[in-house]
Structure 1
Amino acid sequence: MTRHARAIRALLAGTALLATGFSATAAVAQSKIAVITPYLSQPGTQFYVEAFEAAAEGKDWDVNVIDTAGDVAAVISRIEDMVTQNVDAIVINVDPTQVTAGLQSAKDAGIPVIGMDAGADPLLVTNITSNGYAMAAETATYVADRIDGAGNVVMFVFEAFPPVQVRGVVADAVFGNFPDITILDHVTPDVSDGGIADSRAKMEAILAANPEPGSVKAVWAAWDQPALGALQAIEAAGRGGEGIVITGIDANPQAREAIAAGGNFEASVAQDFKGIGATAADVVARVLAAEEIKQGSIYVPTQLITASNAAE
């Protein structure tokens, strides 16, 4: 083989290696991310999933959003499916203690799982959320102040989801500091259709059982859908003029509209859903870059919403 031929052969070999290197780099850069939730019908979940997707657009990620439509148990099999597909990271929006088997399979496979308003758990890298303790305390004290520390309060809670369960515990503690406040009922609505319809039905039953004006002083809801359902029930029963105070948490658009109207629904707490989604995406990027995340929970700031700022 001549010197010229050897040079050409070497050049071709080098080009092939270079092309292979570019191909390998592209393959590494394309990261597969799965976002799994049973709560996509909830406005809050929709907002931060959309924010996560928006933040991911600037990255070389293939994001797969999986909705199990209220089926919490199905989240386990979906996580296992993603483990089989060898995704690079999984983001969940569900009580981690209810999907331990799935989380363990991800850990065994070396796939990081990040919570997005899920709940703290040793099997998660971290959980990005709002400070539920602070939000619940803020709305519960708002209620206590508005009713002068006395009267019957209806609470809408949801113990199956840690971020919401915490809110109920804190609100109970706040109300417990007022000896003249009585918790008339702890209501857990059916959330399969979003929660408004069943909350309205349950509130209608409570109002029927307590027909005297002033027999219900306030409704504290751990999120906005029950608050909206309670508002509908109170208005339909012709009891809007009794001054029943309603508070929620999330400050979704429908809640803001109701608060701005100046009726019974007086306050909610705005979570920064875009901030939660964007922060979750940032954490995923940091994890993929092999950064150690030391915080078990990362809190995104919130804001109390009343009639004075509901339209902002």
Structure 2
Amino acid sequence: MKNLTLHTPEGVRDIYNSEYERRLDVLYNLRKDFKASGYTPISTPTFEYFDTFSKEVGSCKSNEMFKFFDRDGNTLVLRPDITPSVGRAAAMYFSDTDEPVKLSYEGNVFINYHSLQGRLKESTQAGCEFIGDSSVDADAEILTIVVNSLKSIGLKEFEIGVGHIDIVKGLVEAASLKAEDEERLLNLISNKNFFGAKDLLESAGVNKSLIELFDLTGKILNSPSEWKNYLEKAKKYKKVYDALEYLTKLYEILKSNGVMDYISFELGMISEYRYYTGIIFTGYSYGVGEPLVKGGRYDSLLRHFGKDSPAIGFAITVDQLMLALERCNER
């Protein structure tokens, strides 16, 4: 029988010596950047009640959470996602203010991925949450912090893809598909199988002009001028049209902030987290297969905790960031 006393469980690892020192330096610099941008640090518990991350919240899948029980029989989970934790804390401690609240955090998250996926089950995140402002300026502020923070710690090659939940959502609603076809379509778009998506739409009898508008979901664009030709068709579908107009406004602010060299628009982007309500974004870097940053707007999440307040935020996965920095230095 294998002696397990010297081994870590699958999906977790020890970090020590110079690697850990570099990680501490990166976390320190991120914390400094977040503070300089006006974000106050907050620390939330490593484990919380299951309801904080339940299906209604729209966070991690139940079967991917590490669950256990307290002495009273309550179901607890190791947090798989820090955003709902910060949302709960904000609803608890800032319930009586209408002023925007800016919070930053760092901590470990735990997701019970299938062993065959070869992914870390414990990882470190650092991020910011901007609560109480629904404006496009708030979205631009968050994206600008992401870009400038990654640049300031020495990451040279990275790209932030920005999408909007209402583009795919609006298109799928307009197609009026059967439930099983809708699920198949979303899977095809998520997996970037756009030819398969087009075949499904044609076989379902969706009108040609709407299918042409679905072309947006397969494109990575650099500016609104590249989706200008789709706007006339999109006028028939308010949710899609409004999302494209919103991204146009966002682009103008990001351009004036000087960060568009690191940002593109992925109009078919979908997130596994169901609490997102507006823009969503994902960041990648050279030689790193997993995202090093994820984020988006979640205007309905805090209602679950009793505070009706819009919000947007992001989380940098420090493990992927460290790998990206290492790969950049190798080039």
TM-score (norm 1): 0.24
**Higher RCO, Cα 8 Å, sep 6+:** 2
TM-score (norm 2): 0.23
* Larger radius of gyration between Structure 1 and Structure 2: 1
